Amino acid sequence: MTVLLARLEGVLHEYAWGSRRFLAELEGRASPSPSPEAERWFGAHPTAPATLHLADGTARPLDAAVASDPVGLLGDDVVTRFGARLPFLLKVLAAAEPLSLQTHPTAARAQAGFADEEARGIPLDAPHRRYRDAWPKPELLRALTPFTALCGFRDPDRTLELFATLAVDELTWLVDALQRHGEAGIAPVVRRLLMVPEVACGPLVTAVAARAAGLVEDAHWGAEARMVRGLSDRYPDDPGVVVALLMEVLHLVPGEALYLPAGNLHAYVEGAGIEVMATSDNVLRGGLTAKHVDVDELLQVLDDRPGAVPRVDPVPGVPGERVLPAPTPFFRLSELTPRSGAAVELDRRGPQVLLCTAGRAVVTADGTSLELARGQAALVAAAARDVEVTAVDDPGEDALVFRATVGDA
């Protein structure tokens, strides 16, 4: 029997960079939490599938439920396009400390890299494994709190102004490279920085941080200087600290969003948000981490073109919905603002994950209803009809529900 509507319990990930407060407070648990809590996954990735809680009191992993009834849960169109797999993964992310510098592969690179490592017999959980599945990982983040990120490369002319102000003797070669080659010099500079001998990394980062200390109140470069000071305290021997100086510093306020396509070098620094991505765990790291960094593979997928930060402006969806458009078929993220007595009637777009982050809401599908409190989620199957979301009267907080579903073909 096809499941049409069920509560979805996400998987909690405790990483060192996570917050001890945000997820606990969102979900009504004791705060601070005993350990840093970084992400809550609401999806069917085989390494951490969410749990479906069914009306008969039983529960099962979402990936197993999809495998047993792919057409009912995903719909014919989604199965045709993506196979018997939920193509998107919804997360709540809460960063109290910076994540690693990273980028994600294109579909072609992911398929080739995964096949290569499978053929060579590298275990999926090996620390040096680069591709853990054959999917790309475009992603979109919508800020729930003030959010800071490093995202993409700054125009080389502006970067030259920054390094002229820093005046670090050990980096005159970097200035020369950007002066001679402009945009074409970015990837070679990144390579050289990431290949700095380990014995020289500490002194280089120390020299850069010392110069940055004098700029923390600078009108033009204060944000970059403060960023480098914070990163150098956490990663005193990591050349990624210097790579970060080539990148744009992005500040989002709650409600703002950014889209990260394949090849975009980025690092989330601090803040909480809703994140949606293709169902992949492929991460190519470039610094600010103790994990494996493969410089050659990183540069194979790196998009080194400077440009505007990829902010996302919302557009109207169905009445009561704001869509955060992204140029990918894997996912579509929107915000629902239901009101008591005025339902948001959802169009049919295949499988849907609905996550409540404020107030309380009721999801109804085919006459069956499920109430969601803050931090709770539901799965709506593709086979469900007459799906709507309404708010529960709460004088203290309006309801806010995020809707993740499949993108347009």
Identify the DSSP state of 339: B
Cα(42)–Cα(54) distance, rounded to whole angstroms? 16
- The answer to whether 21 and 145 are in contact (CB under 8 A) is no
Domains of the chain: residue spans and CATH? 8-150+253-290 (2.60.120.10), 315-405 (2.60.120.10)
CA–CA separation, 388 vs 367, rounded Å? Answer: 10
Q: Are the C-beta atoms of 396 and 18 separated by less than 8 Å? A: no
Q: Count Cα neighbours of 281 within 13 Å in the Cβ-side half-sphere.
A: 13
| pLDDT, tens digit, 9 for 90 and up, residues 234-293 | 999 999 999 999 999 999 999 999 999 999 999 999 999 999 999 998 999 999 998 889
Provide the pLDDT confidence category of residue 310 given band limits of 50, 70 and 90. confident
pLDDT at 1: 62
Nearest partner of 5 among 351, 405, 374, judged by Cα: 351
Task: Flag whether the pTM goes above 0.85.
Answer: yes
Q: Is the separation of the CB atoms in 268 and 124 below 8 Å?
A: no
pLDDT, tens digit, for every residue of 56-111?
899 999 999 999 999 999 999 999 999 999 999 999 999 999 999 999 999 999 99
Residues 158-177, mean pLDDT to the nearest whole number: 95
CA distance linking residue 223 with residue 21, whole number of Å: 25
Radius of gyration of the chain (CA): 22
Tokens 């670090």 belong to 168
Task: Look at residue 387 and tell me whether its pLDDT is greater than 90.
Answer: yes
Q: What is the pLDDT of residue 341?
A: 75
Closest CA to 153 of 344, 10, 346, 306: 306
Would you say 186 and 265 are in contact if contact means Cβ atoms under 8 Å apart?
Answer: no
Catalytic residue list? 285
The mean pLDDT value of the chain amounts to 94
Q: What's the pLDDT at 363?
A: 97
Q: What is the pLDDT of residues 313-350, one digit of tens each?
A: 999 999 999 999 999 999 999 999 998 778 999 999 99
Residue 371 has pLDDT above 70, yes or no: yes
Instruction: Check residue 183 and report its DSSP letter.
Output: G
What would the pLDDT profile of 45-59 be if each residue is shown by its tens digit?
Answer: 988 999 999 988 999
Q: Whole-angstrom Cα distance, residue 126 to residue 363?
A: 41
Instruction: Write out the DSSP string of 55-93.
Output: TTS-EEEHHHHHHH-HHHHH-HHHHHHH-SS--EEEEEE
Q: Give 16's contacts (C-beta < 8 A, 6+ positions apart).
A: 36, 97
